[in-house]
Amino acid sequence: MADMLTAKRGHHRWDWTDWAAHLYLLLGVLVMFGPVAWLGLSSLKSETGLNAFPPTLLPYEAATAPVEGRGNLRLYTIDSGDFAGQQLAEIRRVGIQAQMVDPKRPEVIIRLPVEGRTPVMRMRLATENYTALFSRFDFFRYFWNSSFITIVATVLTLLVNSMSAFVLSKYRFTGRESVFLVMLATLMIPPTIVLVPNYLIAAQLGLTNSLWGVIWPGVATPTGVFLLRQYMLTLPDELLEAARMDNASEWRIYWRIVLPLSAPALAVLAIFSVMWRWNDFLWPMVVLARSEVFTLPLALNSFQGELTTQWNFLLAMTVVTLLPVTIIFAFLQKYITQGIASAGVK
């Protein structure tokens, strides 16, 4: 324990603290990623596979066999008695008795106790969970709503905040310090405490039940201004002066020189913005009441109230919701963690 507390050790012989550290990390992976993996595996199970208790790791479902004149029936392996080892199909259950039939001899009905038989399971990926999202539910619309909000809001966030950051870092004008302080002061007004007034304002502007009602309030962010300003302060003023010599307008200097040079900071803010927007929940829930404007989190939340008996669809929806973020993270992992560590905000 004691050695674990000290950083970077020089030698390479493994002692017990190395074992402890690796054990902790492996346990950590199990706890942190295991639940997500379990969700992914479960989402590929059919309804019968999901209802199995104790659950199986891989997607199994109850096997069925066609029986002449009776359609598809569930198969069971008989454990004991005259029919031990045989696979029979169940016609119906009456109390503790089951009427079974051999699929090859459909005319003979066999009565057996329900105990002493095990359902035949076979492995199958229930991809219909996913296809049904688009055929049975209006899933594409929610996906589109979430994407629209995320993309438009992120573009606006980058634009609006970088404009402020540009002049707050590169201009001298009366009131500059006050403007910066006023913007930072909004850190103390998080969305949770202005729910009611913002609802009134959105209603007055006709923004309720509109995706724009979700987009606008978060477009200006003190975090964004601060992050970009700090970065732009490091850009040399000579670049701007040179451009002014060439008679470039200030607007042109902003978007032709300052913005491209600030790309790393803009990327960090873009990652934040995408995260905030894609996952946003409380404010969209307040401002969007009609289901056709629902975002993915809102749709998931309303379905989990209605579909608790249909976990197969709910799990597939959850997977589709976390997939875009997961893919982005898989590719930009290093960039994202470094950006967040350096900015120290979320």
Partner 1 sequence: MKILTAAYAAVMNLPERPMRWAQGRLRGGRLGWVFVAPNLAVFALFSFLPIVIDIVYATTGGAQLLPSERPYVGADNFASLLDCTNHLDPNTCTRDLFWHGIWNTLRFVVFQVGLMLGFSLLTALVLNRKIMGRGFFRAMFFYPVLLSPVVVALIWKWILQREGVLNAGFMAAGVTPVNWLLDANWAFFWSVFISIWAHMGFYTLILLAGLQAIPAEIHEAAAMDATPPLRHFRRITWPLLMPSVLVVFVLGLIRAVQMFDEIYVLTGGGPGTATTFIVQYIYKTGFADGVRQYGLAAAASLLLAGVLLVLTLLQLKGQRAKNG
Determine, following the binding rule CB under 8 A, whether residue 231 of this chain makes contact with partner 1.
Answer: no
Options 15, 16, 19, 36; binder of partner 1; rule CB under 8 A: 36
Measured from the CB of residue 81, what is the shortest distance to partner 1 in angstroms?
A: 28
Please give the Cα distance from 251 to 274 (Å, whole number): 26
Options 8, 13, 111, 290; binder of partner 1; rule CB under 8 A: 8
257's tokens: 């020189």
Return the HEC string of 168-190. HHHCCCCCHHHHHHHHHHHHHCC
Please give the Cα distance from 10 to 163 (Å, whole number): 48
Max Cα-Cα span within the chain: 100
Options 187, 233, 239, 242; binder of partner 1; rule CB under 8 A: 187
Phi, psi (deg, nearest 5) at residue 281? -135, -55
34's tokens: 């295991």
Measured from the CB of residue 124, what is the shortest distance to partner 1 in angstroms?
A: 20
**Which string of x and - marks every residue 41-70 that binds partner 1 (by CB under 8 A)?**
-x--------x-xxx---------------
Options 13, 111, 172, 290; binder of partner 1; rule CB under 8 A: 172
Tell how strand 60-62 and strand 121-123 pair up: antiparallel
**Which string of x and - marks every residue 254-293 that binds partner 1 (by CB under 8 A)?**
xx-------------------x--xx-xx--xx-------
Residue range at the interface with partner 1 (CB under 8 A); choices 66-74, 123-131, 171-179, 261-269:
171-179
Measured from the CB of residue 24, what is the shortest distance to partner 1 in angstroms?
A: 6
Residue range at the interface with partner 1 (CB under 8 A); choices 81-89, 90-98, 196-204, 261-269:
196-204
Options 15, 16, 19, 24; binder of partner 1; rule CB under 8 A: 24
10 burial (CB, 10 Å; 0-12 / 13-18 / 19+) is exposed
Residue range at the interface with partner 1 (CB under 8 A); choices 58-66, 96-104, 234-242, 325-333:
325-333
Q: Which of residues 291-310 bind partner 1 (CB under 8 A)?
A: 296-297, 300-301, 304
Residue range at the interface with partner 1 (CB under 8 A); choices 20-28, 64-72, 78-86, 98-106:
20-28
Determine, following the binding rule CB under 8 A, whether residue 130 of this chain makes contact with partner 1.
Answer: no
Options 96, 192, 237, 309; binder of partner 1; rule CB under 8 A: 192
Q: Is 322 left (phi over 0), alpha (psi -120 to 50) or beta?
A: alpha
Options 65, 110, 167, 257; binder of partner 1; rule CB under 8 A: 167
Determine, following the binding rule CB under 8 A, whether residue 28 of this chain makes contact with partner 1.
Answer: yes
Residue-by-residue DSSP string for 110-169:
EEEESSSEEE-EEE---THHHHHHHHTS-HHHHHHHHHHHHHHHHHHHHHHHHHHHHHHH
| CB closer to partner 1 out of 109 and 282 | 282
- Check if the beta carbon of residue 75 is closer than 8 Å to that of residue 64: yes
Please give the Cα distance from 286 to 195 (Å, whole number): 8
**Which string of x and - marks every residue 72-111 that binds partner 1 (by CB under 8 A)?**
----------------------------------------
Handedness of CA 34, 40, 45, 50 (dihedral sign): positive
Residue range at the interface with partner 1 (CB under 8 A); choices 63-71, 107-115, 190-198, 262-270:
190-198
- Check if the beta carbon of residue 72 is closer than 8 Å to that of residue 66: yes
Measured from the CB of residue 70, what is the shortest distance to partner 1 in angstroms?
A: 30
- Check if the beta carbon of residue 277 is closer than 8 Å to that of residue 150: yes
Q: Which residues contact residue 337 at a Cβ distance below 8 angstroms, ignoring those fewer than 6 apart?
A: none
Options 70, 104, 105, 176; binder of partner 1; rule CB under 8 A: 176
